[in-house]
Amino acid sequence: MKITAIETFVVDAGWRPWIYAAVRTDEGITGYGEMSDGRNPYGIVGAVTDFLPILKGQDPMAVEKRYWDMYRLARQSTGGIAAKAIAGIELALWDIKGKALGVPVYSLFGGPTRQSQQVYWSHCGTSRVRRHELIGVPPMDSFEAVTELGAEVREKGFKALKTNINYPGTPARNYDGGFGTGATDQNVTWQTLEHIEKYIGAFEEGTKGEVQIAIDLNFHFKPLAARQICEVMEQFNTMWVEVDMYEPEGLAEVKAGTSVPITSGENLFGIREYRPYFDNRSMDNVMIDVPWNGFARSRDIAMLAESYELNIAPHNYYSHLSTMHSINLCATVPNVRIMEADIDDVPWKDEITGGPLDYTGGELQIPTKPGWGVDLDEDVARAHVWEPGRGPGF
């Protein structure tokens, strides 16, 4: 079997793009990998094109050889866009191998270690703030709407949710201090602290304390501000506070200063970047983005985390294909805390991978079909193109 071509798809998923690699072979098997990035989608597409010359005509079943060929080509700049392009291709190669052998990808790594995986409702409220009319759900126009959403999460059987700092209203808005075009001081005001307390309190009122609540602070705050927010969260049924930070010792200060669990790592690549955080005991739960790291490297990170007695939580706010990447990872390792999934989403999300996923009881069953267990519907992908030059997706 030989690689004949790689086609990419950049799909308009409402408020962010989904990005896919389709690796074609001369035996008619196509493998699919997701490599979604909300800010540089066509940069990743260009990187995939750059890798094609060293892949075309090569054996797709030799996945590690193909990975290291790409890694060596990008060795002077292995993170960011290059890493995501490598990951998307590598994920597609595992799909080919699983399909060729007639087994799920997790079987190639000794799985399954479990039959189902608990998931949490991610970007809960955040997606409704961004595009409630596209999703077809009520607007986040009041704190009462937040409480009603908390009740919806509980009634649908989820045991955990994650939200961001959102401001209900007409219009509602997201806090964007770390990503916006204004100041980068990353302080927190007393008004913001009071708002977080009221906002999370509204969620907890709706969940009746039966759903753990996580809040994602992204890159919005420096360690001092993050600690102050953690103090607010200590009164709630908090699953974790999620903090992104390129400073492992600073993050360790946050963790040492609070009783709530700290989760981090979604922005990191490879064991070299994770290891300083593990050495500094910077986090309680380790986020791993499979579409950014690829499958084998994600498993390396997960097993390194296991050696530090840490559990992982796959980072997964993309399409169902990414969900299949993440749940296959969960099925190969013994140290999973919980898995992320976006429940509110564009109305055609199910169509792009052949149907809905069943989250009954807040659990997702381990797939049994070969490869990732789903295929990309390329016609649906082509019908929803993220136009070049549109700008960052959030």
290-302: per-residue pLDDT in tens?
999 999 999 999 9
Rounded CA separation 370/17 (Å): 26
pLDDT at 176: 85
Query: Cβ(283)–Cβ(263) under 8 Å?
Result: yes
Using the structure block, give the residue that is written with the tokens 């392009």. Answer: 85
pLDDT-above-70 percentage for the chain: 98
DSSP structure string for 37-83:
-SS-HHHHHHHHHHHHHHHTTS-TT-HHHHHHHHHHHTGGG-SHHHH
pLDDT band at 389 (very low <50, low <70, confident <90, very high): confident
pLDDT at 181: 63
Residue type, 120: Y
Crossing angle, helix 223-233 and helix 190-207, to 10 degrees?
Answer: 40
pLDDT at 394: 55
User: Can you read off the two tokens belonging to residue 211?
Assistant: 């759903």
Residue type, 4: T
Catalogue all structural domains in the chain, each as residue range(s) with its CATH number: 3-102 (3.30.390.10), 108-369 (3.20.20.120)
pTM equals: 0.96
Rounded CA separation 28/41 (Å): 27
Torsion of CA 283, 288, 195, 123, to 10 degrees: -160
pLDDT band at 388 (very low <50, low <70, confident <90, very high): very high
Check whether 255 has a pLDDT greater than 70. yes
pLDDT tens digits, one per residue of 220-231: 999 999 999 999
